[in-house]
Amino acid sequence: MIQIMSNLPHKKVVEYVNQLFYISNTESISLDQVPNYIEKKLEETKKIDEEIIQADVTLQSKNVTIEAINEYLKLNDELDKHGLSAQDTDKLLNLLLNAKEYQFDAKKIARKLRGIERLERLERKAA
Task: Over range 59-71, report the average pLDDT.
Answer: 77
DSSP string for residues in 45-64: HHHHHHHHHHHHHHHHHTT-
pLDDT digits (tens, 9 = 90+) for 86-123: 777 788 788 778 887 888 777 887 788 888 889 899 88
At residue 75, the 3 state secondary structure works out as: helix
CB–CB of 20/31 below 8 Å?
yes
Look at the chain and count its residues: 127
Q: How many CA atoms lie within 13 A of 108 on its CB side?
A: 5
Task: Please state, in angstroms and rounded to a whole number, the distance separating the CA atoms of residues 107 and 66.
Answer: 36
Report the alpha-carbon distance of residue 29 to residue 38 in Å, rounded: 11
State the Cα–Cα distance between residues 28 and 75, nearest whole angstrom.
Answer: 52
Asked if pLDDT for residue 49 goes beyond 70, the answer is yes
Would you say residue 2 has pLDDT above 60?
A: no
Cβ atoms of 76 and 82 closer than 8 Å: no
23: Cβ–Cβ under 8 A, 6 or more apart, which residues? 29, 34, 37, 38
Given a cut of 90, is residue 53 above it in pLDDT?
Answer: yes
